[in-house]
Structure 1
Amino acid sequence: MKDINKSDNNLNHKTTSISIITVCYNSEATIERTIKSVLLQDYTPIEYIIIDGNSKDGTLEIIKKYRKNITKVISEPDKGIYDAMNKGIELASGEIIGILNSDDIYTSDTIISEIVGQFVKRDIQLLYGNITFFKNNPNKAIRTWVTKPYYEGFFEHGEVAPHPSLFVKKEVYNKIGTYQSDFKITSDYEFMLRALRINNYKSYHFNKFIVNMQMGGESTKSIKNIMQGNKEITISWKINGISPPIYFWPLRIYKKIKQYFS
């Protein structure tokens, strides 16, 4: 295995700083592979922040094994996943911020270097890419989510970028705010709608697989969660002072089904 302290990428001496945030709660079964996925990146320095929701299992013991390589660790009760993300964003000092969930991993040890390189090259505020889904084996994809570059009508056509692949300049969060902490399922959707559709921040679709994501996210865990997510999407449009077109929901459902079988 590669030495987590070793650095050999020619972007390491760039002045661009990046923060990666992992939020977790009772994640002892998966948190170690997520931590390793960040610490093995060849881009340095990475400010790595873990926000734990006061786990009751062995999560904190696993985090302690890598504590000297983790910049900041907070363990305390929170109001949900988006509240925890907001805590991490507030603590982050990097120019670019990415969020890696506690059961997901990056697709390669060079992906952060590549992402930072795109930010530097293209002078963008947001970057997102594609993701794969796995069930038990992170190296065996069972589904893919290949998204599109942002365009006028992107959200109206039922499109959305996969949040695990999203990287955002800290200045964007500072100017337009972070995640709606009272949302339970789709605050990431509302944030992207606000950043791209309302505020027109410059984005880039990095057409590579960035994250391997474990199946079983909150938005699709149950019929109740799907209904809650749809309700929050409707609210997302409303609080931003816009309304989706009449074809929005049929298109969104069609694309979700298509994605499922991809």
Structure 2
Amino acid sequence: MKVSIITATYNSEKTIEDCLQSVLTQDYNNIEYIIIDGASKDNTLSIIEKAKLKHENIISVSEPDKGIYDALNKGIKKATGDIVGFLHSDDFFSTNATISHIVEAFNSNKVDGVYGDLHYINATNSEKIVRNWTSKPFSDKLLKQGWMPAHPTLFLKKAVYKKHGVFNIAFKIAADYDLMLRIFKDTTLQFNYLPEVITKMRVGGASNRSLKNIWLKTREDYMAVKGNNISSPALVICSKNLSKIPQLFKK
């Protein structure tokens, strides 16, 4: 199975090298790596171009966009793989066998999506775990409890995007949650939880960068729940936010 991995970049010179190497050193060979850059002003593009000289599986585009979700949508449309996943420019895969394990999970379980666990790590010390997001096998009732898989760990068959569409860029922070609600509501789809750390994510992302953004994220989460016709949206969001607290103590 061919895997398309999509990275959106913008002025990412400090972290893009780690991100690139994380993909390019995977032991799974059938990978298409798509990088969508938002017209970076720093050395991001030169780092990407240097990598492209050595690796023909990299496809890159650099042009202005309407934000990260717009960039990811461009990547989805370009993807030719059977499976599509994301790796943000600040992040890296846990091991060089991560993609092999994900593909094996798809093949062994005959599913439409695979997800796993996530480590939030210190921005300057990748060995220091700040938050441990341990997921669980999916069941329908979890959506009403505010549950969602860690989006950076979620890999889906391209056919799922053809059926349910891409990110709604009207959301500034919660488009991933909105999309996952759409997808996980579909009872014809099957998902597999892979109980291992898929991605290591540096802290400081858009959704937790400031109190203003935390408030915006909460408001958009509420809109996503309500827009996807899940009952008691306020209770769902309350449960969703409270569920994050134990993750801070699992290191």
Q: TM class by shorter-chain length?
A: over 0.9
Structure 2 residue matching 1:132: 3-state secondary structure: strand
Q: How many percent of aligned residue pairs carry the same amino acid?
A: 43
Quick check: 1:89 aligned with 2:111?
no
Quick check: 1:133 aligned with 2:127?
no
Please name the residue that 1:11 is paired with. Answer: none
Quick check: 1:42 aligned with 2:27?
yes
The amino acid of 1:44's aligned partner reads: N
Please name the residue that 2:222 is paired with. Answer: 234
Question: Residue 55 of structure 1: which of 40, 45, 51 is its match?
Answer: 40
Preserved CA contact (<8 Å) 2:222 2:237? no
Q: For the residues of structure 2 that align with 1:179 and 1:192, how far apart are their CA atoms?
A: 9
User: Cα offset for 1:198?
Assistant: 4.0
Rate the CA distance shift 1:245–1:114 in 2: closer, same or farther, 3 A: same
> Where do 5+ consecutive residues of structure 1 fail to align?
1-15
Structure 2 residue matching 1:84: 3-state secondary structure: helix
Alpha carbon RMSD of aligned pairs, Å?
A: 1.4
Please name the residue that 2:18 is paired with. Answer: 33
Question: Residue 178 of structure 1: which of 152, 166, 185 is its match?
Answer: 166
TM-score computed with the length of structure 2 as normaliser = 0.94
User: Cα offset for 1:254?
Assistant: 1.7
User: Cα offset for 1:49?
Assistant: 0.5
Q: For the residues of structure 1 that align with 2:15 and 2:166, how far apart are their CA atoms?
A: 26
Please name the residue that 1:12 is paired with. Answer: none
The amino acid of 1:193's aligned partner reads: L
User: Cα offset for 1:139?
Assistant: 3.1
The amino acid of 2:216's aligned partner reads: Q
Structure 1 residue matching 2:225: 3-state secondary structure: helix
Preserved CA contact (<8 Å) 2:222 2:234? no
Quick check: 1:222 aligned with 2:210?
yes
Q: For the residues of structure 1 that align with 2:144 and 2:66, how far apart are their CA atoms?
A: 31
Structure showing the higher helix proportion among its residues:
2
**Any idea what the Cα deviations from partners look like across 1:9-32, whole Å, max 9, x if unmatched?**
xxxxxxx11100110100000000
Please name the residue that 2:92 is paired with. Answer: 105
Structure 1 residue matching 2:143: 3-state secondary structure: coil
User: Cα offset for 1:130?
Assistant: 0.2
Structure 2 residue matching 1:41: 3-state secondary structure: coil
Rate the CA distance shift 1:203–1:261 in 2: closer, same or farther, 3 A: same
Count, aligned residues: 247
Question: Residue 77 of structure 1: which of 61, 64, 79 is its match?
Answer: 64
Rate the CA distance shift 1:183–1:33 in 2: closer, same or farther, 3 A: same
Q: For the residues of structure 1 that align with 2:76 and 2:237, how far apart are their CA atoms?
A: 31
User: Cα offset for 1:226?
Assistant: 1.1
Structure 1 residue matching 2:156: 3-state secondary structure: strand
Quick check: 1:207 aligned with 2:192?
no
User: Cα offset for 1:35?
Assistant: 0.2
The amino acid of 2:10's aligned partner reads: Y
Q: For the residues of structure 2 that align with 1:251 and 1:132, how far apart are their CA atoms?
A: 21
TM-score computed with the length of structure 1 as normaliser = 0.90
Structure 2 residue matching 1:23: 3-state secondary structure: strand
Question: Residue 120 of structure 1: which of 70, 88, 107 is its match?
Answer: 107
Rate the CA distance shift 1:228–1:200 in 2: closer, same or farther, 3 A: farther
**Any idea what the Cα deviations from partners look like across 1:78-107, whole Å, max 9, x if unmatched?**
001000000000000000001000010001
Preserved CA contact (<8 Å) 1:37 1:105? yes
Q: For the residues of structure 1 that align with 2:231 and 2:35, how far apart are their CA atoms?
A: 36
Preserved CA contact (<8 Å) 1:198 1:240? no
User: Cα offset for 1:44?
Assistant: 0.8
Please name the residue that 1:8 is paired with. Answer: none
Rate the CA distance shift 1:230–1:198 in 2: closer, same or farther, 3 A: farther
Structure 2 residue matching 1:182: 3-state secondary structure: coil
Please name the residue that 1:64 is paired with. Answer: 49
Answer with 149-158 or 40-49: which moved more: 149-158
Q: For the residues of structure 2 that align with 1:237 and 1:200, how far apart are their CA atoms?
A: 20
